[in-house]
């Protein structure tokens, strides 16, 4: 019930969007995310986009993990 | 050779090397013994599936909370849905998880076997379509779910209203998360230091509704996504907050959650629904923790449109779902677990629901 999966918006028509998830297409509602644009990723929950995914934030988070990995490496092996 | 299609925003957050780094950090930073509750059934499943508890230091104790909407639906409410299914001329539309949940005497699956028209739908969009295609029948959608789902149900009611669809109804059993957390914290039965806040509920309501937990109860809160890296990051952030003695609300799931949430979804929810007391399995009645249809939309309310006679409410003897949902017992504490209660013949909802603690334990922690 908590589950929402990232889906790529391929086209928009009124309140509906054609999205792609792992290569599979389906039609979903965008009434909860009227600001959505083609090319956005949305969080898909029971047939509705419940939020537009912030790709910049996703990149920031991954960068954070990468920095953490470097730090952990240094702590484990000592700074070269 | 089939190459598994890369799932963006999923695969990157399952990277094992990065996970090792976060785990290393948690081990390095964690000194005090802390008890963290993952509220959401989806988090429980992810934690079990990826064996995350075993990767954490002994100082970090994980408890599962009542964040499984199907599990916390009380028998008296399940019985209403089952009773409605028996009405002639009614088509019940429901999320699949509800089908096998045992009520006092029966289940939607059992009444379907007896001839009731019960259809599993993926979305209220499908339920509305069934209403359009069956104008001579009454189509009732069983409204289960928290704040991630309630706006989608609200949207379907507004849609039905705009299209003059007169045979669509909702039996609302929707519940709200912050009030039940407040109830658990104020009752003080379960000792908590930190809370892994539900990511998709928070995508709708934002992070602000969790602030009471930090300010009034000193609970560290982190809004978390559902991939292994997300959960590990959230644990690392909770440990950081607790080691510093600075509980607050942080968003780890920044790609999915804004502090203010989804205002449009909140607006739709508030247009259609209003707060009501709700009965949570194992917890009891919690004020302002449920949603009922507002007067302006009462013609869509299945509670008002139908004479529902659910019969006497009975509870399953020996079932510890209630205690498990409050975080005071674990599935293995239940005498029925794995013996008379298994996924094939479940006694309580925690074993049936795909997000139930017992089901997760059964699938991922037993040989």
Tell me, what's the pLDDT at A79? 58
**Does the pLDDT at position B4 exceed 70?**
no
Determine whether the interchain pair A31/B155 forms a contact, defined as Cβ–Cβ distance below 8 Å.
Answer: yes
Instruction: Name the most confidently modeled range: A30-39, A59-68, B2-11.
Output: A30-39
Mutation target vs A (from B7, B14, B43, B152; most A CBs, 10 A cutoff): B152
Q: SS3 letters for A49-68?
A: EEEECCHHHHHHHHHHHHHH
**Range(s) of the domain holding residue A66:** 5-77
Interval A60-74 mean pLDDT: 90
For B91-138, the pLDDT digits (tens) are 999 999 999 999 999 999 999 999 999 999 999 999 999 999 999 999
Lookup: tokens for B30? 């964690």
How many domains, in total, are found in chain A? 1
Helix then strand then coil, in percent of chain A rounded to 5, is 30, 40, 30
In angstroms, the separation between the Cα of residue A3 and the nearest Cα of chain B is 6
**Does the pLDDT at position B366 exceed 80?**
no
Q: Do residues A1 and B42 touch, judged by C-beta distance below 8 A?
A: yes
Lookup: tokens for B16? 């094992």
Residue B194 to residue B221: CA distance in whole angstroms: 6
Which one is predicted more confidently, B225 or A76? Answer: B225
Q: Which helix (H) or strand (E) holds B182?
A: helix B177-187
Task: Return the bridge partners of B93, or none.
Answer: B119, B141
In angstroms, the separation between the Cα of residue A46 and the nearest Cα of chain B is 5
**Does the pLDDT at position B181 exceed 70?**
yes
The third-level CATH classification (topology) of the domain covering B11-66+188-245 is Rossmann fold (3.40.50)
**Does the pLDDT at position A72 exceed 90?**
no
Per-residue DSSP letters for B202-247?
HHHH-SGGGHHHHHHH--EEEE--SSHHHHHHHHHHHHHHHHHT--
Q: Does A31 touch chain B (CB under 8 A)?
A: yes
Same fold for the pair B11-66+188-245 and B75-176+261-303: yes
Asked if CATH classification 3.40.50.11740 holds for the domain at B75-176+261-303, the reply, yes or no, is: yes
For A8-54, the pLDDT digits (tens) are 999 999 999 999 998 899 999 999 999 999 999 999 999 999 999 99
Q: Does A38 touch chain B (CB under 8 A)?
A: no
Tell me, what's the pLDDT at A1? 59
Point out the residue among B68, B125, B268 whose CB comes nearest to the CB of A47.
B125
Residue B231 to residue B252: CA distance in whole angstroms: 9
**Does the pLDDT at position B215 exceed 90?**
yes
- Taking CA atoms, B275 is separated from A36, B289, B294, in Å, by 29, 7, 9
Residue B57 to residue B60: CA distance in whole angstroms: 6
Sign of CA dihedral B227, B70, B348, B67: positive
Tell me, what's the pLDDT at B21? 92
Residue B265 to residue B259: CA distance in whole angstroms: 14
* Closest C-alpha among B44, B35, B49, B34 to residue B65: B44
Q: What percent of chain A has pLDDT over 70?
A: 94
In this prediction, the answer to ipTM > 0.90 reads yes
Point out the residue among B152, B252, B258 whose CB comes nearest to the CB of A46.
B152
- Taking CA atoms, B4 is separated from A24, B9, B97, B239, in Å, by 12, 15, 27, 35
The CATH number given to whatever domain includes residue A22 is 2.30.30.140
- Tell me which residues of chain B, numbers 52 to 111, contact chain A at a CB-CB cutoff of 8 Å: 67-70, 95, 97
Confidence of residue B1 (pLDDT cuts 50, 70, 90): low
Which one is predicted more confidently, A22 or B285? Answer: B285
For B51-87, the pLDDT digits (tens) are 999 999 999 999 999 999 999 999 999 999 999 999 9
Per-residue burial over B316-347, b if 16 or more Cβ lie within 10 Å, else e, is: beebbbbbbbbbbbbbeebebbeeebbeeebb
Confidence of residue B317 (pLDDT cuts 50, 70, 90): confident
Tell me, what's the pLDDT at A3? 86
For B146-158, the pLDDT digits (tens) are 999 999 999 999 9
Q: Which residue of A has its CA nearest to B148?
A: A2
Interval B281-300 mean pLDDT: 96
Q: What is the mean pLDDT of chain B?
A: 94
Determine whether the interchain pair A54/B25 forms a contact, defined as Cβ–Cβ distance below 8 Å.
Answer: no
**Does the pLDDT at position B3 exceed 60?**
no
Q: What residue segments make up the domains of chain B, in order of their start?
A: 11-66+188-245, 75-176+261-303, 321-365
* Closest C-alpha among B262, B207, B205, B260 to residue B237: B207
Interval B222-230 mean pLDDT: 96
């Amino acid at each position: 019930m908590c589950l929402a999966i990232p889906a790529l918006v391929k086209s928009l028509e009124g309140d509906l969007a054609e999205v792609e998830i792992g290569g599979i297409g389906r039609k979903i509602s965008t009434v909860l995310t009227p600001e959505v644009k083609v090319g956005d990723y949305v969080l898909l929950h029971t047939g509705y986009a419940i939020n537009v995914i912030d790709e910049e934030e996703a990149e920031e988070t991954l960068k954070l993990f990468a920095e953490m990995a470097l730090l952990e490496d240094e702590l484990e092996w000592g700074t070269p | 050779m089939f190459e598994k299609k890369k799932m963006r925003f999923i695969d990157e957050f399952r990277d094992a090397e990065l996970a090792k780094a976060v785990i290393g950090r948690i081990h390095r930073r964690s000194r005090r013994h802390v008890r963290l509750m993952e509220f959401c059934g989806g988090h429980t499943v992810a934690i079990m599936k990826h064996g995350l508890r075993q990767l954490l230091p002994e100082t970090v104790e994980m408890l599962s909370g009542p964040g499984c909407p199907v599990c916390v639906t009380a028998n008296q409410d399940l019985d209403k849905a089952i009773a409605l299914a028996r009405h002639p001329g009614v088509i019940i539309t429901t999320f699949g998880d509800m089908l096998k949940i045992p009520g006092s005497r029966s289940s939607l699956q059992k009444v379907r076997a007896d001839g009731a028209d019960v259809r599993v739908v993926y979305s209220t969009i499908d339920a509305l379509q069934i209403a359009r295609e069956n104008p001579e029948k009454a189509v009732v959608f069983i409204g289960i779910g928290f704040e991630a789902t309630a706006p989608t149900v609200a949207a379907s009611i507004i849609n039905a209203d705009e299209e003059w669809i007169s045979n669509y109804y909702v039996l609302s059993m929707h519940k709200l998360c912050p009030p039940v957390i407040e109830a658990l914290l104020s009752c003080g039965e379960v000792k908590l230091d930190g809370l892994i806040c539900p990511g998709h509920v928070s995508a709708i309501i934002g992070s602000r509704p969790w602030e009471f937990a930090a300010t009034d109860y000193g609970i560290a809160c982190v809004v978390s996504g559902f991939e292994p890296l997300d959960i590990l990051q959230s644990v690392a952030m909770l440990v950081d907050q607790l080691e510093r003695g600075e509980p607050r609300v942080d968003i780890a799931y920044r790609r999915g959650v804004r502090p203010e949430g989804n205002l449009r979804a909140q607006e739709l929810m508030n247009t259609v629904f209003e707060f009501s007391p709700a009965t949570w399995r194992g917890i009891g009645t919690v004020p302002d923790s449920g949603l009922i249809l507002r007067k302006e939309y009462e013609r869509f309310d299945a509670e008002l449109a139908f004479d529902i006679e659910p019969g006497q409410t009975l509870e399953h003897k020996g079932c510890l779902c209630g205690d498990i949902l409050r975080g005071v017992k674990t599935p293995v504490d239940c005498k029925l677990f794995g013996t008379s209660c298994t996924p094939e013949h479940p006694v309580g909802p925690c074993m049936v629901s795909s997000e139930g603690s017992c089901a997760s334990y059964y699938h991922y922690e037993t040989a």
